[in-house]
Amino acid sequence: MLDDRKLAVLRAIVEDYVSTNEPVGSKALAERHNLKVSPATVRNDMAALEEEGYITQPHTSAGRVPTDKGYRLFVDRLSQVKPLSAAERRAIETFLAGAVDLDDVVTRTVRLLAQLTRQVAVVQYPTLTRSTVRHVELVPLSERRVMLVLITNTGRVEQRVVELPEQVEDTRVAHMRAMLNACLDGCGLSSVPELVSDLPERLPPEDRPVVATILSVLLETLVERHDEKIVFAGAANLAGADFSTGLRDVLEALEEQVVLMRLLGETSSDTPAALTVRIGSENPYLRGTSVVAAGYGSGDNQLARLGVLGPTRMDYPVTMGAVRAVARYVSQILAAS
Amino acid sequence: MLDDRKLAVLRAIVEDYVSTNEPVGSKALAERHNLKVSPATVRNDMAALEEEGYITQPHTSAGRVPTDKGYRLFVDRLSQVKPLSAAERRAIETFLAGAVDLDDVVTRTVRLLAQLTRQVAVVQYPTLTRSTVRHVELVPLSERRVMLVLITNTGRVEQRVVELPEQVEDTRVAHMRAMLNACLDGCGLSSVPELVSDLPERLPPEDRPVVATILSVLLETLVERHDEKIVFAGAANLAGADFSTGLRDVLEALEEQVVLMRLLGETSSDTPAALTVRIGSENPYLRGTSVVAAGYGSGDNQLARLGVLGPTRMDYPVTMGAVRAVARYVSQILAAS
DNA sequence: ACTTGGCACTCGGGAACACAGAGTGCTAGA
DNA sequence: TCTAGCACTCTGTGTTCCCGAGTGCCAAGT
């Protein structure tokens, strides 16, 4: 049904349309790409492609524009991820190397990605649930208050103030801290509820209410932060582009953690680090945009996702190259720290 | 030069233009506000106001539009801050009361303000320099690495990983922690450099290199975070409004911490909590926008600023009311925690 | 069987134009 | 000092017209 030349025509249409932002006609197409056939032939192919739903014309007697289906075919079969230039790779490396803590890594990453792709970049914070406890700290603030600090192996720090039901001396706090660390150190966060479930029972009765209070806050922290934090950058890049769904909708989606999460998508368990591309109507909520995302994380376990969001009409090979490269570098950084 | 009626005319022009977004003419003005004079008289007044530079006409034979100078006069002398409704106040209270930590307070505040004003809200994190040390924590991560955690009285937590020059046992770490806390607890952050300057000398020689390393990281943290973190929300509200300086510029400014900082302005030392309004060209960098800001903080010392950014054509009385109210509530929350 | 050139057709977008309406400035009168 | 009237000047809108890019289709060529 679709011979090689028709595919070549589709590829050419996508490439031209992406670079010019104007519907591309048969004549211009035949000469710009050396297809070695006449415009008339191209027209026939275009008619076939349109018949199949890969391209469409905005109105009669205008050039053709790729449909979501067309982009999909292009991404899947007609294009190759374009690797970054050496200069770009160096820039990434040096820029990310300067990060001092997890917050900084994430902030730098999202800015870097935005600048590299000239789109809106989105980065999800490493998921708590898949990381492990590195340390639990109890800091006495006053007689009846302690601050609970949870440090994970990804460098993430969560803290909460705990109001204690009774007055507790510092030595007892220190003891509880030792207790907690002995119990939890190195364990996966998802197994924490299980591990602490019988902890109060193993303690002297007088400690139980206090420890129970602390544990309830700890568990609450785990649950609350279960839905993950997401940051974005490069909103200014939206100014130029035009979205079928208004600019307002896009900006609103960016500030809605939940929507953003859905857009980034879940890490598919089989090929965790692979690039995911969602084109136009394939996206939940935001149908006028495309999302290119990838998982990242230290070593084998994927911690979270990052990606960019842009108009359907984007340069997929380049964008995919940038996302993939950044995901890899961030993974390296996290693994090293 | 400007009698009462002319001022009334100016006020009416500002109010009408803000609500309709269209140049306001003499006829409509004379009937909508009961000025008890004829359009012709209003025209004369308008001519005078234009002469003085308070209003201008986009083109001959269109209505008048306030200039920056006109808005300035309106804000300074012709309007009163409009207090929030009881329902709004309750909403603020309940919404902010649910915050669990400082991050949460800031996030909720910025969203609240954006929703309340339908503009872009900007909130600066409480300045480290004016807060005090509540606790310093050293958490051993491995033989040669500790995590330094700094907790301030505003609930802010800064953490850094410190690479030690030599292997250090946990007991020594505990000792250093006690040392540090004895030295710094309750002190203002700005006095930390001074306080720790002679600390190594008071220690046994074998501890000096390690402590010096830790201190250098501590000081670095203070310096680096000196330029403060700023967050914003409500960018979607920009979609409708039109800015003389392109939308792109505004979005770029929002992502530039430095620019944003300049826009919020410094807390004027004499009247710290007062509302600051910068109109159009009074703003550095972004001249097409207005900024309404106020300081906030627990008790007397102003910790940081918050505010909104919007088109010059905004409803100043309402916006100022919202900013003032939110600043007060946040201050309360911070003082209580 | 596919490709090519030719040709008539169809729209969108821009230029030219006219026109109504809103608003102004000015002058003369109350 | 205010008001009424009047002539003038714009912008925005609607209309018309035309050009050109692009198409679909057909018949001829390879």
Residue pLDDT tens, chain A, 337 long: 778 999 999 999 999 999 999 999 999 898 888 888 999 999 999 999 999 999 999 988 889 999 999 999 999 999 999 999 999 999 999 999 988 888 889 999 999 999 999 999 999 988 777 778 888 888 887 888 888 888 887 777 888 888 899 998 888 888 888 888 888 888 888 888 888 888 888 888 888 899 999 999 988 888 766 557 899 999 999 987 777 778 889 999 999 988 998 898 876 555 666 899 999 999 888 888 999 999 998 766 677 899 999 999 999 999 999 999 999 999 998 877 6
Q: Which domain holds residue A12?
A: 4-77
Q: What pLDDT does residue A313 have?
A: 94
Q: Which two tokens stand for residue B56?
A: 């201008």
pLDDT number for residue A291 = 95
Same domain, A14 and A70: yes
- Residues of B whose CB is below 8 A from A100: 160, 224
pLDDT, residue A272, reads: 61
Higher-confidence position of B125 and A298? B125
Domain total for chain B? 3
Do residue B106 and residue B38 come from a single domain?
no
Of the candidates B100, B224, B255, which has its C-beta nearest A160's C-beta?
B100
Residue-wise pLDDT tens digits, B2-35: 788 999 999 999 999 999 999 999 988 888 888 7
Helix (H, G, I), strand (E, B) or coil at A81: coil
List the CATH number of the domain containing A33: 1.10.10.10
CA-based nearest residue to A87, from A123, A108, A114, A116: A116
Taking residues B121-140, what's their average pLDDT? 84
pLDDT at res. A268: 58
Residues B121 and B138 reside in one and the same domain? no
Whole-structure pTM value: 0.86
Q: What is the pLDDT of residue B239?
A: 85
Regarding whether A56 and A20 lie in a shared domain, the answer is yes
Q: What is the pLDDT of residues B175-231, one digit of tens each?
A: 888 888 888 888 888 888 888 888 888 888 888 899 999 999 988 888 766 557 899
Given this model, what pLDDT does residue B309 score? 96
Residues B265 and B304 reside in one and the same domain:
yes
Question: Nucleotides on strand D with an atom closer than 7 A to protein CB?
Answer: 2-5, 8-11, 20-26
pLDDT at B269 over 70: no
Confidence at residue B55, expressed as pLDDT on a 0 to 100 scale:
95
| Chain A residues within 8 A of B155 when measuring between CB atoms | 161
Shared domain for A262 and A317, answered yes or no, is: yes
| Chain A interface test: which of B161, B162, B180, B285 (most A C-beta within 10 Å) | B161
Q: In the listed set A189, A223, A257, which residue is the last one of a domain according to the structure?
A: A223
CATH number of the domain at A174, please.
Answer: 3.30.390.60
Same domain? A190 vs A232:
no
pLDDT over 90 (residue B102): no
Q: For residue B226, what pLDDT is reported? A: 52
Do B96 and B44 lie in one domain? The reply is no
Q: What is the pLDDT of residue B186?
A: 83
Q: Which of A242-256, B77-91, B259-273 has the lowest mean pLDDT?
A: B259-273
Cα–Cα distances (Å) from A166 to A142, A245, B22, in that order, read 11, 56, 64
Q: How far is CA A16 from CA A76, B212, B213, in A?
A: 18, 60, 57
Residue A137 to residue B137, Cβ atoms within 8 A: yes
As given in the structure block, the two tokens for residue A40 are 């008339």
* A111 and A256 belong to one structural domain: yes
- Closest nucleotide over all strands to B36 (CA to C1'): D2
Compute φ and ψ for B332, nearest 5 degrees. Answer: -60, -50
Does residue A103 sit in the same domain as residue A246?
yes
Residue nearest to nucleotide C24 (CA to C1'): B61
CATH number of the structural domain spanning residue A323: 3.30.450.40
The answer to whether B214 touches B146, Cβ cutoff 8 Å, is yes
- Which residues in A lie closer than 8 A to residue B161 (C-beta atoms)? 101, 155, 337
Last residue of a domain, one of B185, B202, B223: B223
Q: What are A's interface residues with B at a Cβ cutoff of 8 A? A: 100-101, 111, 134-135, 137, 139-141, 147, 149, 151, 155, 157, 159-161, 224, 233-236, 238-240, 246-248, 251-252, 254-255, 337
Q: What string of DSSP letters covers A249-283? A: HHHHHHH-HHHHHHHH-PPPSSSTT-EEEE-GGGS
- Residue A306 and residue A267 share a domain: yes
Q: Which residues of B touch A147 (CB under 8 A)?
A: 135, 151
Mean pLDDT of B52-56: 94
A247 and A301 share a domain?
yes
Least CB-CB distance to A233: which of B137, B160, B255? B255
Beta-bridge partner residues of B85: none
